[in-house]
Amino acid sequence: MILALSLSLLGLLALSIPVGIVLFLLGFGISQFFSFFPLMRALGQVVWSSSDSSTLIAIPFFVLLGEILVRGGIATNTYAALDKWFSWLPGGLIHANIGTATMFSATSGSSVATAATVATVAMPQAERLGYDPKLFSGAIAAGGTLGIMIPPSINLIVYGFLTQTSIPQLFLAGLVPGLLMALVFVIVTAVLCTIKPSLGGESRSFGWGERLASLVHLLPIAVLFFVVVGAIYAGWATPTESAAIGVVMALVIVAANGGISRDMFGSSLVGTVRITSMITLVIMGAYFLNFTLTSAGLGQLLTNTLSNLHFGPLGTLAVIIGMYIVLGFFIETLSLMVATIPIVVPIIIQLGFDKVWFGILLIVMIEMALITPPVGLNLYVVQSARKSGSMTDVMLGTIPYVLVMLAMLVMLIVVPGLALYLPTHFG
């Protein structure tokens, strides 16, 4: 059954069938061929129960928050401000790419939206100033992945919903690893450009007067982040209420910068409906698939198979990590999450691992999938913003950052406190 399910999943995705429909089709197939019970009769109840949760209301609000900032032209001013603060480092503007991606990650909650925003603003600068296209575009693709690690993260909300894990605790757990990866991205870029200066452009220095004046474009984003996240941990607002506050603040920021218009707001709403509908359909499909898998006994079968390997907890964890890395090459990231979480997380808990910690470990693997071919979405987003060159340039440019993510996986396993310290002491 495991082999049939895996081949069916890859085959249906290869046909470009929408992910949510694929999950429902797999559930129908399991009900038809691997179960003696009429599981289809529970379809209505499962679909309703999977979507009847107040937790999910946070998703459209966070999506709308990101859409408003992206379409309101805030990225251009943010990028110019960070250029003044970071361009003295070896690598020049590449650090502004990472810095802008980090700041937008702390507001949008979406890796693809973050990468698209930074790429649109940054790529014209790279071509004008003669930067090496590989490392420059690779840094944008990798920096964009931070959108699903640094809170607020839509993927962490989905993980929390599917595993019944505290979303505020997941947000806290992702903060240190996300910021640490952003810092290591900067360090690795500086080291590479010091060793081989041709990878980066000319380093530029700006006076303190210009730097301080640029803070007017950075402070609103920082305040937005601290209000949205801080309200959750202070107990003043739920994630849903906090996201709604963030939407209002984003509108005020965009209006203050003269970026608000009827077309901008309309396109933000349309984009929010499209993304939220896709996510909701995927979640409903994942719930139905999980229901049929559990009824057919696949969860127990997989648990027994892993137990019979006699690898021990760390060995079994290594097998699961290897599975995710391989599947990440072929399956879109949200699909990979929702199709595997209901099966894998119970095994992780049975092995004695913390599910908050595993959520962060999983997000790092999902981040890797976003920048590895052939289906790494961020690669295509960045390439679409370039005026020339091949996709190979973007792929090669992400290699140093993929290695950083692999190192983060090892660090999280060796030092779980990187993810668990904040939730334990402040959650």
Query: DSSP assignment of 351-405, as one string?
Result: TT--HHHHHHHHHHHHHHHHTSTTT-HHHHHHHHH-SSS-HHHHHHHTHHHHHHH
Q: What's the pTM value of the predicted model, to 2 decimals?
A: 0.81
SS3 content of the chain, % helix, strand, coil (to 5): 80, 0, 20
Between the two ends of the chain, the Cα-to-Cα distance in Å is 40
pLDDT, tens digit, for every residue of 367-417? 888 888 776 778 887 887 776 777 788 888 899 999 999 999 999 999 999
Quickly state the pLDDT bin for 202 (edges 50, 70, 90): confident
Taking CA atoms, 68 is separated from 99, 212, 225, in Å, by: 20, 26, 14
Average pLDDT on 208-216 reads 82
Compute the mean pLDDT over every residue in the chain, rounded to the nearest whole number: 82
Among candidates 156, 84, 51, 119, which has minimal Cα distance to 419? Answer: 156
In a domain, 165, yes or no: yes
Instruction: Show the 3-state SS of 79-137.
Output: HHHHHHHHCCCCECHHHHHHHHHHHHHHHHCCHHHHHHHHHHHHHHHHHHHCCCHHHHH
Tokens of 196: 């081989």
Among candidates 16, 19, 7, which has minimal Cα distance to 278? Answer: 19
Taking the CB of residue 236, how many other CB atoms lie within 10 A of it? 12
Predicted local distance difference test score (pLDDT) of residue 108:
67
Q: What is the CA radius of gyration of the chain?
A: 22
- Residue written as token pair 């649109």: 120
Within 205-261, residue ranges assigned H as helices are: 208-233, 239-256
Report d(CA 347, CA 316) in Å as an integer.
9
Predicted local distance difference test score (pLDDT) of residue 312:
82
In a domain, 12, yes or no: no
Quickly state the pLDDT bin for 284 (edges 50, 70, 90): confident
Domain count, the chain: 1
In a domain, 11, yes or no: no
Quickly state the pLDDT bin for 3 (edges 50, 70, 90): low
Backbone angles phi, psi at 250, to 5 degrees: -65, -40
In a domain, 28, yes or no: no
Give the least confident one: 3-12, 55-64, 171-180: 3-12
Report d(CA 43, CA 24) in Å as an integer.
10
In a domain, 48, yes or no: yes
Strand partners, 91: 201
In a domain, 222, yes or no: yes
Report d(CA 79, CA 124) in Å as an integer.
12
Q: Where in the sequence is the domain holding 343, given as residue range(s)? A: 33-426
pLDDT, tens digit, for every residue of 267-279? 888 888 888 888 7
In a domain, 266, yes or no: yes
In a domain, 19, yes or no: no
pLDDT, tens digit, for every residue of 296-317? 776 677 777 776 777 888 888 9
